[in-house]
A and B are shown apart, each in its own frame.
Chain A
Amino acid sequence: MVHVIQAVRTRRRSRPAIRAVLAVGLAALMASSVAACSGTSDTTGTSANAGATGSSAPGKVGGSLTVWVDAVRLPAAQAYAKAHPNVHLKIVTYDGDGNGATTLQAKIQLWNRTGNGWPDVIFSEQVNDPVWMAQKPFDFAAPVTGLIPASLLSQWPAPSTAQCTINGTQYCVQDNLAPVVLWVNKKLMDQFGYQVPTTWQQWAAIGQKVATEHPGYIIGTSGDSFSHWIYLWGNQCPLEQLQGSQLLINTADAHCTEMASLLDPLIKDGSLPPLSVFTPDFAKKYGGADDKVLMMPGPGWYGHDLFLATLHIPAGQMTTAMPLQWENETPITTGQVGGGPWIIARHSKNLATAADFVTWATTVFNPTGANARPGLPAYGPVAAQWLAGQATNPYYASDPTPALKAASSLIWKGWNIVTYPDQPVWSNTVVTGLVAGKSLSSLLPAFGSALGQAAQAAGYQVTK
């Protein structure tokens, strides 16, 4: 119903011939209802949906559109271009604000100053980007409500929508959900005779055991710019907790220090090296046919992006287990790495097509097989399909989906999204120290005060 009304509105508002508008409206109606209800969307993401649109934004889909994406989202953008020959799509690949880069802040400042040049759509790897994009002085993001039909928006899980909602208005849609699970190398675990752990303590015990029994094998890493999201966020360490107008940053909290003490021996014995998983060095040391990854707490998208595509770990080895629990504490909580949002520019002169692009990329684009989306799609119906595909994916040693599904509702809510990136703070205060042989416990206070400085510089009032 909504779509019919929208289509009528569209007709009233826009100039082009009524027939064309109706056609677009009908197409919108069909595409979105197909995607929303039956879930049988185009699985190759390339052919069948040519010319279709999932958007009900006023205006006609077509014309030119500029999108900024990271390298991972490039195939989605390319597929959209192929499926929509009437849209002249200009794709700009950029760093995705990865690792807490502030590329977009600088760029948007510039575009705001020049008064033009804004792209229509941006994908960011940073969940926190929409927060500042929605506010002064950037004022970049357009509310998605009204651009993307409510019937579609409602199919994003509530926590995901919450991450995109700033001061009561939704400014983005998430591409994927990125809860941290425990990745396990079933082949190696069986070979070494280890049990899959359910608690951090069991996991750490295996780490110490493997360090003596099979040195060189690892149970995770501590050198990524997002490692604190895996270990500290997951263990409810309050480093980014909004309490009214105050931001709580407390590295002395037991949730932080106990995790640090647990990790320190592992970092020392080499089973949790302070090395980023995506560095060539890491791939050389731990990847390949004789990989040395025994376990790895990490986000769902590690399966495809890291183990398959980067480390080239052979099929039949990796699978997921439930997020780790701290002793017998409940509820089990976990961290999040990713969940990048799509943002539409309020300056876009082609909002209809921009909305169509975002809708298509999140609710329609879902190729199968080797080209499948790397992470658990955020949009419910696509997620269902994706999970069905992954469940039988021969790459995994066993069905990885139960843990992925379960973990997505376990992300700890006490870690809020703030306007400044915390990854560089972690990297340049903690990771550099770990590389130099210092212990995480000894680095925590410095990490806390550096976070406090970054927060204050961004205008937060900090409490400890």
Chain B
Amino acid sequence: MRIAARGLRLVILAAFAVFFAVPVLWLILAPTKADGALVTSSPLSFGSFHQIALAWDHLDAFSDHIYRAWIGNSLLYALSATAIVLATAIPAGYGLALGKFPGRRVVLTLTLVVMIMPAAALVLPIFLELNSLHLIGSVLSVILPFSFFPFGVYLAYIYYATAVPRDLLDAARVDGAGEWLTFRHIALPLAKPIIALVFFFSFVADWNNFFLPFAVLADSSQYPIQVGLSDLLSSTPSFNPAQGGGGQQVNIFRPELALATLIAVIPVAIVFLLSQRALVRGMLGGAVKQ
């Protein structure tokens, strides 16, 4: 009975593991094969490294190296927005956690509410607003909304409210350090772990955002990679056969599309690989503390 239950548990877990892992595995293997081979050979077989190079050449040649531009744009948008997030959210969290001023609770509640609201709900309103301000189509119309990251503020707030030894800050103040110096020399160095966390969440959220740049950017050379992928999907014959036979010259077929997808997730995958352990340990740590 015990053994049967244990066996069943493993079978269920293994079945889900297959569900979660096989598509990823397929995606990694797809660019190693030619388009025809994807259909004829076993789905999870390895082709050759040469095919990857070939697929990359095709992908890179698409629309005058636009794929590189898309990756570059994503890096630009995600990194610059995340820099602004760090510059605004860490002090804000500090101010909200340790400050006392009129409206503090309102700001905190608004931050929480906007943070929990699905980001997509705000995209059209933000578009309408930027439109009325004639900001549509500029790079800022992506970076500035990305720079508002209430979750980062909340993270910093929780951290300063719970994890930073207050005595340390008080001691600094007793020594006559001003508010700014206390923050600069005591609170900020203490915030290293939270800076990493905010960086992670903000970067991932920006990198994966599709709807906002899709709605506000007009020029395909301004697209971040997520919107680029959709562009690639719709302007090549892999899934959009209107491009039909004539699309042969574009040379973007399923292996190229798979490669494009794979490269597009590498930065996030790295962050994910690094983060899971830390996150789980953090959670366990929190549990122990309680």
* A and B in contact, CB less than 8 Å: yes
**Chain A positions near chain B (C-beta within 8 angstroms):** 70-75, 90-96, 98-99, 101, 103, 107, 110-111, 113-117, 125, 225, 276-280, 284, 304-306, 308-310, 374
Known A-B contacts: A93-B236, A96-B243. Give 19 more (CB < 8 A): A70-B235, A71-B247, A72-B246, A72-B247, A90-B64, A91-B63, A93-B235, A98-B240, A99-B240, A103-B234, A110-B216, A114-B136, A117-B219, A278-B243, A306-B245, A309-B244, A309-B246, A310-B245, A374-B246
Please name all residues of chain A whose beta carbon is closer than 8 Å to the beta carbon of B131 when the two chains form the complex: 113
Tell yes or no: B276 within 8 A of A by CB: no
Query: Are the CB atoms of A72 and B218 closer together than 8 Å?
Result: no
Query: Are the CB atoms of A117 and B234 closer together than 8 Å?
Result: no
Please name all residues of chain A whose beta carbon is closer than 8 Å to the beta carbon of B217 when the two chains form the complex: 110
Q: Which B residue sits closest to A96, measured CB to CB? A: B242
Tell yes or no: B56 within 8 A of A by CB: no
Query: Are the CB atoms of A110 and B246 closer together than 8 Å?
Result: no
**Chain B positions near chain A (C-beta within 8 angstroms):** 39, 62-64, 131, 134, 136-138, 216-221, 231, 234-237, 240-250
Q: Which B residue sits closest to A101, measured CB to CB? A: B234
Given the known interface contacts A95-B234, A113-B131, A113-B136, the answer about A308 and B62 at a Cβ–Cβ threshold of 8 Å is no
Please name all residues of chain A whose beta carbon is closer than 8 Å to the beta carbon of B63 when the two chains form the complex: 91-93
Query: Are the CB atoms of A279 and B247 closer together than 8 Å?
Result: no
Q: Which B residue sits closest to A100, measured CB to CB? A: B242
Cβ contact of B242, chosen from A111, A125, A374, cutoff 8 A? A125
Please name all residues of chain B whose beta carbon is closer than 8 Å to the beta carbon of A374 when the two chains form the complex: 245-246
Q: Tell me, in angstroms, the Cα distance from A67 to B39 when the chains sit together.
A: 35
Query: Are the CB atoms of B244 and A95 closer together than 8 Å?
Result: no
Cβ contact of B237, chosen from A71, A92, A94, A115, cutoff 8 A? A71
Please name all residues of chain A whose beta carbon is closer than 8 Å to the beta carbon of B219 when the two chains form the complex: 117
Please name all residues of chain B whose beta carbon is closer than 8 Å to the beta carbon of A276 when the two chains form the complex: 241
Cβ contact of A116, chosen from B62, B137, B234, cutoff 8 A? B137
Query: Are the CB atoms of B64 and A91 closer together than 8 Å?
Result: yes
Please name all residues of chain B whose beta carbon is closer than 8 Å to the beta carbon of A101 when the two chains form the complex: 234
Q: Tell me, in angstroms, the Cα distance from A114 to B64 when the chains sit together.
A: 24
Closest 3 CB pairs of A and B: A278-B241, A98-B242, A72-B246
Please name all residues of chain A whose beta carbon is closer than 8 Å to the beta carbon of B231 when the two chains form the complex: 94
Query: Are the CB atoms of A309 and B245 closer together than 8 Å?
Result: yes
Please name all residues of chain B whose beta carbon is closer than 8 Å to the beta carbon of A95 when the two chains form the complex: 234-235, 240, 242-243
Query: Are the CB atoms of B245 and A74 closer together than 8 Å?
Result: no
Given the known interface contacts A95-B235, A95-B240, A113-B137, the answer about A107 and B246 at a Cβ–Cβ threshold of 8 Å is no
Q: Tell me, in angstroms, the Cα distance from A360 to B12 when the chains sit together.
A: 64
Please name all residues of chain B whose beta carbon is closer than 8 Å to the beta carbon of A115 when the two chains form the complex: 134
Q: Tell me, in angstroms, the Cα distance from A417 to B261 when the chains sit together.
A: 38
Please name all residues of chain A whose beta carbon is closer than 8 Å to the beta carbon of B242 when the two chains form the complex: 70, 95-96, 98-99, 125, 225, 278
Cβ contact of A70, chosen from B136, B243, B248, cutoff 8 A? B243
Please name all residues of chain A whose beta carbon is closer than 8 Å to the beta carbon of B221 when the two chains form the complex: 92
Query: Are the CB atoms of B249 and A98 closer together than 8 Å?
Result: no
Q: Which B residue sits closest to A110, measured CB to CB? A: B218
Q: Which of A110, A111, A284, A305 has the most chain B CB atoms closer than 10 A to its own CB?
A: A110
Q: Which B residue sits closest to A94, measured CB to CB? A: B235
Q: Which A residue sits closest to B138, measured CB to CB? A: A114
Query: Are the CB atoms of B218 and A114 closer together than 8 Å?
Result: yes
Query: Are the CB atoms of A309 and B248 closer together than 8 Å?
Result: yes
Please name all residues of chain A whose beta carbon is closer than 8 Å to the beta carbon of B62 when the two chains form the complex: 93
Given the known interface contacts A71-B250, A96-B243, A98-B240, the answer about A280 and B39 at a Cβ–Cβ threshold of 8 Å is yes
Q: Which B residue sits closest to A278, measured CB to CB? A: B241
Q: Tell me, in angstroms, the Cα distance from A73 to B240 when the chains sit together.
A: 15
A95 to chain B, nearest CB (A): 4
Query: Are the CB atoms of A284 and B39 closer together than 8 Å?
Result: yes
A426 to chain B, nearest CB (A): 14
Please name all residues of chain A whose beta carbon is closer than 8 Å to the beta carbon of B236 when the two chains form the complex: 71, 93
Please name all residues of chain B whose beta carbon is closer than 8 Å to the beta carbon of A306 when the two chains form the complex: 244-245
Q: Tell me, in angstroms, the Cα distance from A310 to B248 when the chains sit together.
A: 8
Q: Tell me, in angstroms, the Cα distance from A304 to B248 when the chains sit together.
A: 12
Given the known interface contacts A94-B220, A98-B242, A305-B245, the answer about A71 and B137 at a Cβ–Cβ threshold of 8 Å is no
Q: Tell me, in angstroms, the Cα distance from A90 to B246 when the chains sit together.
A: 20
B246 to chain A, nearest CB (A): 3
A383 to chain B, nearest CB (A): 18
Query: Are the CB atoms of B237 and A278 closer together than 8 Å?
Result: yes
B60 to chain A, nearest CB (A): 14
Q: Tell me, in angstroms, the Cα distance from A113 to B136 when the chains sit together.
A: 7
Q: Tell me, in angstroms, the Cα distance from A135 to B137 when the chains sit together.
A: 23
Q: Which of B216, B243, B250 has the most chain A CB atoms closer than 10 A to its own CB?
A: B243
